[in-house]
Structure 1
Amino acid sequence: MRDKFSYFAKLVKDIKIDPDSLLRFEEELQSINSQIVNESDVLQHLSEKLGMVSQTLDADASKILIHPVTQKMNDLGRNLVINFQDESSDVFPMNSHGMGTRSWVTFLTLLSYVDWQIKLRGSEDKCYHPIILLEEPEAHLHPNSQRNIYKQIKSDMLPNR
């Protein structure tokens, strides 16, 4: 999912948000970044030491800015973190799950991408007929998990168009 050419990256590369809201969100992100740096002795120290580059470059009015959180909404998709939480457990990042779960989520991003393209093209009155071929999806999974995936694919995951 981190690959810039993945279907996930294609889907989240352009998060369309109203321009007024976008400006407001980016201002809030800037404020959050400043608050995090101001609250962290380590980040303040790092900023101060990295700021010494101004002396090397003879740029007295320059400064180092540390942004722990992405600053631009367009960069948001690159840093998106997917978490999973069931009813009774803590939030668990997807990259900490097993290979089978991560592989299945990657496949679900493909389905999400295809479904999104169908919606986009449908609103533009353009034909789009995707074909997805699978050969032994998740063959390494437990047979019960394989049956559940098959039911998921067969039922409502793939649109009947």
Structure 2
Amino acid sequence: MTILVDKIRISGFRGIRNIEIDLPRIAVLIGLNNAGKTSVVKAFQLALGDYSRYLSEEDFYLDENDKPFSEITVDIRIVPVNKGDERVPLFEEEWIDFLGDKVQADNNEKQFSVIRTVCSHDLIRGGFSVLRYSLDTWPPFTNWNNAKVNQKKKIRTNLQSLPYFSIDAQRDLHSELKEKNSFVGKILSNIKYNDEDKSALEEIISDLNNEALKKSQPLAKLKTHLEKLNQSFVNSGKAEITPFPKKIRDLSKQFTVHFGENDNNLFSMEYHGMGTRSWASLLTVKAFTELTSEKFAEEEEAYYPIVAAEEPEAHLHPNAQRTLYKQLVESQGQVIITTHSPYIVALADQSELRLLTSNDSDIEVRQLSNNMVIPPKNNGCQT
């Protein structure tokens, strides 16, 4: 058994006045440009991730008089589910340990947990205040955002077991290799070796550097001239040339990714098109979530990642889009996809589709009913 964020409610955020979305494990958000798909993704990030540091005045909904809402409110409901993602009455023990007093039960004795995020202007310090609370109920949708919060149930800790990973539509693995805060950068920063392996590897690198120097006349000549630096010092000096990183800790600084059809046809990512680089970037997120999951498993702690991928089809051929979609839905945890691709929509189950539409004053969401019967197509000729 595991969990599921089965509902999200958003009020006062960007173009969203007030909506509720039912969420399956795989949710595919579709709709025209500016229909609110990215707003839903960012609202989720506000509730569980790090979007709060990017908040701006433009994130507050403007009413019909161009007056901004005073607050942004995002509620998510967490429920226990079985392996088939069907709701069950009770959380597993590891989730009880994580959620603690945030666990509630409805009239049918089914457990749930509600986390509310409230964003407002900080009148004292300036900027914005972002607070999270645990709610005792999942209130009816009518005036849900006006339900009072219990100040004693303020959430002061990070929700580490429920991480949210947002993957922007603009992504490029080659560029991300240089960024410490990217997902591939975080993987590289976690590279660790024990002392014995570290010494053995650095000895191999030392031998490799010496061999490279011996077999290269230009490098040998450069070393000879650089060692003349000692003529300017009281103590003799020594110049060392290392074509390859001398220390294990420096390996990540020259880390590169090569890709090709076979061993004789490998090229650095910088020589590949944006489709391959974008795809590779998405797969690094999947690798990062799996590595993190293994760490939590070692500590016997609950872990359920939520990954949101915006326009995964970018720059990809239809066949590649289909392959990437299958890779995404096989990810551990919950997956939210925004897309304009008919190929991805065709692969998704109809129950996973959420259509967002924008009118003059709000954003609405539609979905097919679970018990909807689709009539068979008319194969006859029309006249």
Shorter-chain TM-score bucket reads 0.7 to 0.9
Matched residue type, 2:332: P
Contact 1:13/1:78 (CA < 8 Å) preserved in 2?
A: no
Counterpart in the other structure of 1:140: 315
Q: CA RMSD in A?
A: 2.1
Which residue of the other structure, out of 292, 300, 304, is the alignment partner of 1:125? 300
CA 122–41 in structure 1, closer or farther in 2 if over 3 Å, else same: same
Which residue of the other structure, out of 193, 196, 200, is the alignment partner of 1:24? 200
Counterpart Cα distance in 1 of 2:263 and 2:286: 28
Counterpart Cα distance in 1 of 2:320 and 2:290: 23
Counterpart in the other structure of 2:327: 152
Counterpart in the other structure of 2:231: 55
Percent identity among equivalent residues? Answer: 32
CA 98–22 in structure 1, closer or farther in 2 if over 3 Å, else same: same
Shift of 1:124: 0.7
Deviation by residue 1:74-121 (Cα, 9 ceiling, x = unmatched): 222222222223258522223321111011111111111111001101
Counterpart Cα distance in 2 of 1:112 and 1:79: 20
Contact 2:293/2:303 (CA < 8 Å) preserved in 1?
A: yes
Counterpart Cα distance in 2 of 1:28 and 1:142: 42
Deviation by residue 1:48-97 (Cα, 9 ceiling, x = unmatched): 222232223x1442111000011111222222222223258522223321
Which residue of the other structure, out of 249, 272, 293, is the alignment partner of 1:97? 272
Gaps of 5+ in 1: none
Moved more, 141-150 or 83-92: 83-92
Matched residue type, 1:30: S
CA 89–140 in structure 1, closer or farther in 2 if over 3 Å, else same: same
Counterpart Cα distance in 2 of 1:126 and 1:34: 47
**Max radius of gyration: which structure?**
2
CA 40–87 in structure 1, closer or farther in 2 if over 3 Å, else same: closer
Aligned residues: 158
TM-score (norm: length of structure 2): 0.38
Deviation by residue 1:108-157 (Cα, 9 ceiling, x = unmatched): 11111111001101111222222111221233323332222112212x3x
Matches within 5 A, 1:6-45: 6-45=182-221
Which residue of the other structure, out of 287, 292, 301, is the alignment partner of 1:112? 287
Matched residue type, 1:85: G
Moved more, 19-28 or 46-55: 46-55
- Hey, which of these two has a bigger chunk of helix by percent? 1
Counterpart Cα distance in 2 of 1:24 and 1:134: 40
SS in 1 for 2:310: coil
Counterpart Cα distance in 1 of 2:267 and 2:310: 29
Moved more, 82-91 or 31-40: 82-91
Counterpart Cα distance in 1 of 2:283 and 2:219: 38
Counterpart Cα distance in 1 of 2:194 and 2:261: 32
Shift of 1:40: 0.8
SS in 2 for 1:53: helix
Matched residue type, 1:125: E
Matched residue type, 1:132: V
Gaps of 5+ in 2: 1-176, 335-383
